């Protein structure tokens, strides 16, 4: 281990830092951003199965292909036949990051960007439907890997807010992002285990009737770790299916 107290070792320390994660110290650029975090329920159990090493990348790629359809457009085969239609592109994210049992996606926006309105609602609709029908995605994966138990549920968390763009040092071109909305998106996806879609209420403005027309409900999540009470948007169908005890424990009416 290098000690900062050893004279003449500063160059060695800087060289060692270049091999780890470090950032430039200039003022970080700020952006308004949409953060999406998803988590595969039961992924740890999946990867702990015997002889699963070949199946892990195949399954993750299979899930990523479905996410790509949501983001870049394509045919959502997991929907009931009468609901299937070709989806167009939302927008290419500026950042994607593998998180071990899921992934993070970030989109940045200018202040007057039209994608802050209706297209963001379209993205939420697609994610909500993918979460609702994820068992179909998992079932099709069994054709590729029939001998293992696969995750059957995916949870999405979305939040909007300011992020800071960080420049990596010691690598060619690489950026990372930090911001409250990223942390909130992560908390939302794991807040209530029975809920597979949760978005910050800042994403979908509107009164109760308007939200319900789009298939959503606005409620209060009073105990989000590190955030306290937050107004959130949930899949109305899923919220109504929660048992009374779960609703009372995790949510409150406005």
| pLDDT tens for each residue of 20-62 | 655 455 656 788 899 999 999 887 787 777 777 778 888 888 8
pTM confidence score? 0.84
Domain membership of residue 202 (yes or no) is no
174 versus 61: which is more confidently predicted?
Answer: 61
Which residues are bridge partners to 147 per DSSP?
Answer: none
Give pLDDT, residue 132.
95
- Tokens coding 112: 């007057």
Q: 31: domain range? A: 23-185
Question: For 74, how many CA atoms within 13 A lie in the half-sphere containing its CB?
Answer: 11
Number of folded domains that form the chain: 1
Distances (CA, A) of 77 to 38, 45, 80, 103, 134: 20, 26, 8, 21, 11
96: domain CATH number?
3.30.70.1230
Contact 42, 171 (CB under 8 A): no
Inside any domain, residue 199: no
- Phi, psi values for residue 185, rounded to 5°: -60, -40
């Amino acid at each position: 281990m290098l000690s900062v107290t050893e004279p003449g070792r500063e160059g060695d320390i800087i060289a060692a830092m270049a091999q780890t994660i470090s950032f430039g110290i200039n003022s970080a650029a700020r952006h308004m951003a949409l953060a999406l975090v998803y988590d595969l329920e039961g992924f740890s159990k999946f990867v702990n199965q015997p002889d699963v090493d070949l199946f892990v990348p195949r399954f993750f790629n299979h899930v990523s292909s479905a996410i790509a359809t949501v983001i870049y457009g394509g045919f959502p085969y997991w929907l009931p036949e009468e609901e299937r239609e070709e989806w167009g592109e939302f927008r290419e994210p500026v950042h994607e990051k593998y998180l071990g049992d899921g992934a993070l996606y970030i989109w940045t926006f200018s202040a007057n960007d039209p994608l802050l309105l209706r297209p963001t609602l379209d993205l939420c609709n697609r994610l909500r439907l993918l979460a609702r029908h994820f068992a179909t995605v998992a079932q099709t994966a069994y054709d590729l890997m029939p001998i293992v138990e696969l995750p059957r549920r995916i949870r999405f968390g979305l939040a909007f807010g300011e992020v800071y763009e960080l420049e990596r040092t010691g690598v060619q071109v690489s950026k990372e992002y930090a911001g409250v909305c990223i942390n909130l998106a992560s908390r939302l996806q794991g807040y209530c285990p029975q809920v597979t879609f949760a978005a910050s209420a800042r994403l979908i403005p509107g009164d109760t009737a308007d939200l319900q027309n789009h298939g959503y409900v606005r409620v209060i999540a009073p105990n989000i770790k590190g955030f306290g009470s937050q107004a959130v948007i949930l899949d109305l169908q899923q919220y109504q299916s929660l048992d009374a005890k779960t609703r009372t424990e995790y949510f409150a009416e406005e």
